[in-house]
């Protein structure tokens, strides 16, 4: 019996050793990959020390070793959207016709300081403009694709009841405009995005935004409102590489983004457009996730959400700390500010902060020792 066990163990070890010796060596991640590298008999590209099979080349592409071109000329500095730039709340009670005009803009702009990207956008920002209507309204939406653009686009609004959410009748080639109408039937907060094939590529380039359908008479009054959307970016180079980043289909297929942003730029809500409010005010944040693949675990460090609702505002969740917002959706967060200071907006999958998923809410006012002591108004976390 002991001899049999020994023999089985010996053969197992020999088998493991044989498999290990037969496996091809892994590519050196420091070795530069050249598209014009010499080829072997099979025509595979090579690094400094390893012949690259097609599968290995894909693996290398997914970890971001491709060199970048210089940043080049920018069409505009960035596509970051000011979170305080949103339509005013609904105060009427009778439905009306609301006209919405959106223009597709394909632009080269900065994704981070010193790093540019070729964005596709609605109206030149990420996210696109927030659309705000009331339950029962008729929406007349016109989508324009300027002749200077390079590819067709359309729009799918998750607030629409009908084929493609509007995408079935709004595909516009460069130089075209199309108009369609729909009735806003269901109160709630929804995503809109481009759905031209492949839709996940268009969304990954920045083509998403939010449409808010308020109930008749509008939402309860608050002191301040903000509009924030998270998305991820699949780039040929690594996070932090200087130069011009391009879209990487390999990383998108592997769901391995290099960047996460809130409002279209690594510094959008920390340096460019931090949120501002005062102690005692009630804040409402419309927070969405454009994706295309990865949701957000939204949290404001140092705050508790008094009310959160995804879908109907009539069915909120109270006293929530962190709320998952799936890709392709928008949730609404309401809370009252009790103490001054710098509050950090995060995706609580916290390593994403290191890739750009963060923002600041700057709160001014007097400190209340009964709620929190000693004072920490000048600190952040």
Domain shared by 220 and 247, yes or no: yes
Q: Are residues 44 and 160 in the same domain?
A: no
Write the pLDDT tens digit of every residue in 259-297. 999 999 999 999 999 999 999 999 999 999 999 999 999
Is residue 173 predicted with pLDDT exceeding 60?
yes
Compute the 3-state secondary structure of the chain and give helix, strand, coil in percent, each to the nearest 5: 15, 35, 45
Domain end: 6, 38, 63, which one?
A: 63
Asked if residue 180 is part of any domain, the answer here is yes
Q: Quick one: 55 and 84 in the same domain? A: no
How many domains are contained in the chain? 2
Q: What is the reported pLDDT for 17?
A: 37
Of 35, 63, 91, the one marking the end of a domain is 63
Rounded Cα distance between 4 and 65, Å, is 49
Same-domain status, 88 and 148: yes
DSSP conformational letter for 156: E
Task: Give the per-residue pLDDT at 63.
Answer: 75
d(CA 171, CA 313): 32
Q: Taking residues 157-178, what's their average pLDDT?
A: 98
Return the pLDDT at 72.
Answer: 82
Q: Does 201 lie in the same domain as 56?
A: no
* Angle (nearest 5°) at CA 355 between 26 and 269: 165
Tokens of 102: 């959106």
* 92 falls within a domain: yes
Task: Give the pLDDT mean for 230-247.
Answer: 96
Q: 132-136, 140-144, 232-236, 377-381 — which is least confidently predicted?
A: 377-381
Residue 14 above 50 pLDDT? no
- Our separate counts of H helices and E strands in the chain read 4, 20
For residue 328, the Cα-to-chain-centroid distance in whole angstroms is 9
Residue 22 is encoded by which pair of tokens?
């037969």
Mean of all residue pLDDT scores within the chain:
88
| Gap between the Cα atoms of 126 and 228, Å rounded | 10
Q: Average of pLDDT values for 6-11?
A: 40
Residue 176 sits in the same domain as residue 147: yes
**Residue 233 falls inside a structural domain:** yes
Percent of the chain exceeding pLDDT 90 equals: 80
Burial of residue 127 (CB within 10 Å: 0-12, 13-18, 19+) is buried
Cα gap 294→246, rounded to integer Å: 19
Q: Are residues 181 and 44 in the same domain?
A: no
Q: Is residue 224 part of a domain?
A: yes
- Residue 183 domain boundaries: 80-381
215 pLDDT above the threshold of 90 = yes
**Is 54 found in the same domain as 166?**
no
Same domain, 332 and 296: yes
Can you spell out the DSSP letters for 263-326? SSSTTIIIIIS-EEEETT-EEEEEEEEEESS--EEEEETT--EEEEESS-TTS-EEEES-EEE-
Supply the pLDDT for residue 253.
95
- Determine if the peptide bond prior to 329 is cis (ω within 30°): no
Domain CATH number, residue 165: 2.60.40.420
| Residue carrying the six token digits 């920490």 | 376
229 within some domain: yes
Indicate whether 19 belongs to any domain.
no
Measure the CA–CA gap between 340 and 335, rounded to whole angstroms. Answer: 14
Residues 32 and 127 in one domain: no
Residues 49 and 129 placed together within one structural domain of the fold:
no
Question: Over 50: is that where the pLDDT of 206 sits?
Answer: yes
Query: Residue 274 burial by CB count (10 A; 0-12/13-18/19+): exposed, middle or buried?
Result: middle
Asked if 90 contacts 137 with a C-beta cutoff of 8 angstroms, the reply is no
Q: So what's the pLDDT on residue 381?
A: 63
How big is the chain by its Cα radius of gyration, in Å?
25
Question: Are 226 and 284 in a shared domain?
Answer: yes
- With beta carbons less than 8 A apart as the criterion, state whether 279 and 340 touch: yes
Alpha-carbon distance of 152 to 174, in angstroms, equals 6
pLDDT tens digit sequence for 60-109: 777 766 789 999 899 999 999 999 999 999 999 999 999 999 999 999 99
Task: Give the C-alpha separation, 347 to 156, whole Å.
Answer: 26
Residue 50's pLDDT band (cuts 50, 70, 90): low
pLDDT of residue 21: 36
Question: How far is residue 53 CA from its own chain's centroid?
Answer: 33
Residue 46 has pLDDT above 90, yes or no: no
Q: Which of 268, 195, 251 has the alpha carbon at shortest distance from 66?
A: 251
Residue 204, domain member (yes or no): yes
Residue 170 resides in a domain: yes
Q: Which of 21-35, 95-109, 114-128, 162-176 has the lowest mean pLDDT?
A: 21-35
pLDDT band per the 50, 70, 90 thresholds, residue 380: low
Distance CA 37, CA 360 (A): 46
């Amino acid at each position: 019996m002991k001899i049999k066990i020994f023999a089985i163990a010996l053969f197992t070890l020999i088998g493991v050793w044989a498999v290990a010796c037969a496996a091809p060596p892994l590519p050196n991640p420091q070795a530069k990959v050249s598209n014009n590298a010499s080829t072997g008999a099979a025509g595979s590209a090579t690094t400094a020390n390893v012949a690259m099979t097609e599968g290995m080349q894909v693996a290398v592409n997914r970890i971001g070793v491709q060199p970048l071109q210089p940043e080049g000329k920018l069409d505009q500095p960035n596509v970051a959207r000011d979170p305080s730039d949103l339509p005013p709340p609904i105060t009427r009670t009778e439905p009306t016709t609301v006209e919405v005009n959106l223009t597709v803009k394909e632009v080269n702009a900065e994704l981070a300081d010193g790093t540019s990207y070729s964005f596709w956008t609605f109206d030149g920002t990420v996210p696109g403009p927030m659309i705000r209507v009331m339950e029962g309204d008729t929406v007349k939406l016109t989508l324009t694709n300027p002749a200077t653009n390079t590819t067709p686009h359309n729009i799918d609004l998750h607030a629409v009841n009908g084929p493609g959410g509007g995408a079935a009748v709004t595909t516009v080639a460069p130089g075209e405009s199309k108009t369609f109408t729909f009735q806003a039937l269901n109160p709630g907060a929804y995503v809109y995005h481009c759905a031209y094939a492949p839709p996940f590529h268009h969304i990954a380039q920045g083509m998403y935004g939010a449409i808010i359908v308020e109930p008749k008479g509008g939402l309860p009054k608050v002191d301040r409102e903000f509009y924030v959307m998270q998305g991820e970016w699949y780039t040929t180079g690594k996070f932090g590489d200087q130069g011009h980043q391009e879209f990487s289909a390999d990383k998108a297929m592997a769901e391995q983004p290099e960047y996460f942003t809130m409002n279209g730029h690594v510094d959008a809500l920390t340096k460019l457009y931090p949120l501002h409010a005062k102690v005692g005010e009630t804040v409402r944040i419309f927070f969405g996730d454009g994706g295309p693949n990865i949701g957000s675990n939204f949290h404001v460090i140092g705050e508790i959400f008094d009310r959160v609702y995804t879908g109907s505002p009539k069915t909120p969740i109270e006293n929530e700390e962190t709320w998952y917002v799936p890709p392709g959706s928008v949730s609404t967060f309401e809370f009252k500010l009790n103490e001054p200071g710098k509050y950090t907006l995060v995706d609580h999958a916290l390593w994403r902060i290191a890739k750009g998923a963060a923002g600041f809410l700057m709160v001014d006012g007097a400190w209340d020792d009964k709620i929190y002591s000693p004072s920490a108004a000048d600190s952040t976390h």
